[in-house]
Every structure is written in C-alpha cells, then in structure tokens.
Amino acid sequence: MLRTLGEFIVEKQKDFPHARGELSALLSAVRLAAKICHREINKAGLGDIMGEAGEINAQGESQKKLDVFANERFKAALEARGEVCGIASEEEDHFVIFDNELSRDGSYVVLMDPLDGSSNIDVNVSVGTIFSIYKRVTPVGSSVSMEDFLQPGRKQVAAGYVIYGSSTMLVYTTGNGVHGFTYDPSLGLFCLSHENMRTPDDGNIYSINEGNYHKFPMGVKKYIKYCQEPDASPRHPYTARYIGSLVSDFHRNLIKGGIYLYPPTAKTPKGKLRLLYECNPLAFMIEQAGGKASDGSQPVLDIQPESLHQRTPFYVGSPKMVDKVENLIQEFKEQD
C-alpha cells in the first residue's frame, strides 16, 4: 500500500511530544513548492525558463531564471504557512523577514539553496533544492534577527533536499532517520520509497572536481592518489563520479557508499560551498544515515557560523572514507 509524505509526516508527529504540528505544516509547504518546481524543471526546454536572469546574487554568481523562480516559489509557500518567521537563501543578500502578524508568531526559520547545480539546467542534468530548519532563538512575536540564522548545524530541527532527477524525490530528516519519497506526477503525490536510509560504512566512489587537482591541499592530493591506487584494497581502484550538482552527487553516494569532496585552495581558503544552506543540511542528513561530514578538521555541524553566506571546505559521505581523508589532511597539513 502506498504511504504518502503527508500521511508519513502526520504519523511521525507523535515522535515529538511537544510538537503542535507546526513542523508538519512547514514540511508540507516545502512539498508544495517542490511540486511546482518539479513541473517547471521538467518542461524547462519548452518554455522561456532556461538561461540567465540577468542579475548577480550575493556570491557574485549570475542567477539563472530557474534560480529566481525556485527562490520565489519556496519563499511564497513558506510565508503562506505562518510557521516561519523568516528565511535566508543563496539568492537573497540578506535574510528575509516575514513581517505580518501571523509570521511574527512563527517559531521557525528556514535556510535554503532553492536551486542547486543550476548550471546543469540548460543541459538537462539533475538539479536540486536544499533546506535547513531551525527553531528561532529570539522571542516569538518579535521580528526575526541574525542570531536566529547563525546557529550551529547541530541545532537543526529538520533538513532535507529535493532532487529533480530521472524521478523527483524529497528526502528529509527530523532527527529520527532519513526518509525518501518519490514523486508520482500522475497522482501529484510524494510516496514513501526509501524508509530509514543508511549509508554504507565504506564505499568506492569519490566525487570531486579533479580539474582543480593542482590547487588542492597535499592531504587531498594524497587521498585522490589513494583512491586511484589499484591494489590498496579489494575495492580499489575507486570509481570517479562527479555530476556538479551537489544534491545529485550526495544522493548517489548516500545510497551507494562514497565520498564527496570540495576542498579549499590558496585562492579560496574556505572552498566554494556554503555552510548554512548547502553543507549543514547535508551534514545533518548524512549523520542521520550513519555517515560523516567534516571540514577537514572538525564535524561541519559543530562550526559556529559567523555570516549568512559563509563557505566551508566539505568532505561528506561514508564514515570510513571521510576518516581517511581527514587523517591525510591532518598528516600533510605542514606541506600546504
């Protein structure tokens, strides 16, 4: 019998003794925006929705039309529910205050990458949405403020992603395991397809933009060579897979066992990926699935954020693989 996302969320609500259904309402807002984005992405080649929007976002990257579309849709769906008092997004320079009577009483903030891997959209390759949910720290009834958004990843109450791939899936955690739902467009429903996802302890897939090899820290170079070594273990040599959509690379490695790496370079000492709305939500998910996420020296979830769009090096996946690269980074750090 099919179990829909809606039914599953209501069922799980009893795991939160003090919850009054707000988180469930919030997740259903995410679900609605995901369906709208699914529809648009799946006909991207047919309408005037591909290509540049003509604006530059907070990180100096050019926005695609679908970046802007997804941002607006998720923002509108979240504001409509009243549980959310404000959001932060890759596509917004500053956090956005939902300044109406209903939202001021909301207890949650949401941080998001509305469209991840957007450079892939024009060539019909999978993209995603990443979201991260916290309880606000400022009093309910007041306007949301920066400290509500700058909480360490450990404080997340829920996180997840949508992958718009060969099928669309919504995968999320509220701290009680990771659950995946596949969208059936004919029914308009997300149906439970992957309950309690666990990542293998070890794997043989490594995902990294190897074009930057010469700029990587020595420990990462050693790790790449170790992955390629034919006889280091029965799993060797590893398989290289890199889509260039973090969500898609993460999703594959979560299921099959593997590691995704985005290291720092001398020019970008914190790497490329954003802590608050890319790395933290995926770090929460991977820990819930039995994996690890590190910045090379500490768990990503323990980093105290200092600014909305801050970046961090990111090593995420099967725990044994993350341990191995972390050890090499520490061992060779004097040589950088």
Per partner kind, with CB cut-offs from 5 to 8 A, the member of ligand AHG, Mn ion, none near residue 209 is: ligand AHG
Q: Does 113 bind ligand AHG (CB under 6 A)?
A: yes
> Is 91 a residue that touches ligand AHG (CB under 6 A)?
no
Say how many residues touch ligand AHG, by CB under 6 A: 11
DSSP SS3 for 90: coil
For residue 245, state whether it binds ligand AHG (rule: CB under 6 A): yes
Question: Per rule CB under 5 A, is residue 113 in the interface with Mn ion?
Answer: yes
Cβ proximity to ligand AHG, 90 vs 287, nearer residue:
90
Is 106 a binding residue for ligand AHG by CB under 6 A? The answer is: no
Binding partner of residue 86 among ligand AHG, Mn ion, none, CB under 5 to 8 Å per kind?
none
d(CA 141, CA 44): 40
Q: Given the rule CB under 6 A, which of 20-28, 80-88, 109-117, 147-155 is the region that contacts ligand AHG?
A: 109-117
Shortest distance, position 90 Cβ to ligand AHG, whole Å: 6
Binding status of residue 117 toward ligand AHG by CB under 6 A: yes
Nearer to ligand AHG, 161 or 190 (CB): 161
Instruction: For residue 272, count other CB atoms closer than 10 A to its CB.
Output: 18
Query: Least distance to Mn ion from the beta carbon of 189, Å?
Result: 26
Q: Does the footprint of Mn ion cover residue 249 (CB under 5 A)?
A: no
Q: Which residue, 163 or 189, has its beta carbon nearer to ligand AHG?
A: 163
Residues 255-314 contacting ligand AHG, CB under 6 A: 272
β-strand partners of 135: 108
Find the shortest distance in angstroms from Cβ 242 to ligand AHG. 7
What's the full length of the chain, in residues?
336
Cα–Cα distance, 250 to 243 (Å, whole number)? 10
Q: Does 244 bind ligand AHG (CB under 6 A)?
A: yes
Q: How many CB atoms lie within 10 A of CB 97?
A: 14
**If we measure between CA atoms, which residue out of 192, 187, 185 comes closest to residue 166?**
185
Of 209, 297, 330, 335, the one binding ligand AHG by CB under 6 A: 209
3-state secondary structure of 96: strand
83 forms part of the interface with ligand AHG (CB under 6 A): no
Residue 102 CA to residue 84 CA, distance in Å, equals 9
The DSSP code sequence of 114-143 is EEETGGGGGGT--EEEEEEEEE-SSPTTSP
User: Taking contact as CB under 6 A, which single stretch among the options 112-120, 143-151, 196-204, 304-312 is the one that binds ligand AHG?
Assistant: 112-120
Residue 42 binds which entry of ligand AHG, Mn ion, none, CB below 5-8 Å type-dependent: none
116 binds Mn ion (CB under 5 A): yes
Residue closest to Mn ion, measured at CB: 116
- The footprint of ligand AHG on residues 174-203 (CB under 6 A) is none
Residue in 90, 83, 129, 127 with CA at minimum distance from that of residue 109: 83
- Residues 26-55 touching ligand AHG, rule: CB under 6 A, are none
Contacts of 137 (CB under 8 A, 6+ apart): 147, 148, 151
Nearer to Mn ion, 160 or 200 (CB): 160
Q: How far is CA 41 from CA 60, 204, 248, in A?
A: 24, 31, 15
| CA distances (Å), origin 164, targets 63, 121, 128, 241, 281 | 19, 10, 6, 18, 17
Strand order of the sheet with strand 314-317? 239-240, 205-207, 259-262, 314-317, 292-294
Residue count, binding to Mn ion (CB under 5 A): 4
CA–CA distances in Å: residue 248 to residues 30, 211, 225: 19, 19, 24
Q: Which residues bind ligand AHG (CB under 6 A)?
A: 61, 90, 113, 116-118, 209, 244-246, 272
Q: Which residues are near Mn ion by CB under 5 A?
A: 90, 113, 115-116
